[in-house]
Amino acid sequence: MTLSDLQKHIDKIYGHRDRARGTAGTFLWFTEEVGELAEGIRTRSRESMEEEFADVLAWLLSLANLEDIDVQKAVTAKYGLGCPRCKELSCTCVDPTKTTT
């Protein structure tokens, strides 16, 4: 299944609910799922992380559907050739604000 296929699939399952809830309400659910993913990462629960990664992606796709954004197209446009800043397939940018050390 491609990302576009998954986005359409999520719309078929949840689109009617997402449209009724609207973007703001759907965004709140999305952020709740991000929090649940953070908890799974903190506790190192593999099962929880797998479930929450899937949930976060599904809610993100729901938001994109509400805003009529083709996520696969957007990701390909931004990252399809590599890093958007340095244009390298393996990023060579030095940005001290984005390191973990």
Residue 22: give its domain's CATH number.
Answer: 1.10.287.1080
Residues of the domain holding 29: 3-98
User: For the chain, what is the domain count?
Assistant: 1
Q: What is the pTM of this model?
A: 0.89
Condensed to tens digits (0 to 9), the pLDDT of residues 31-89 reads 999 999 999 999 999 999 999 999 999 999 999 999 999 999 999 999 999 999 999 99
Q: Which one is predicted more confidently, 100 or 37? A: 37
Question: How would you classify residue 82: left for phi > 0, otherwise alpha for psi between -120 and 50, otherwise beta?
Answer: left
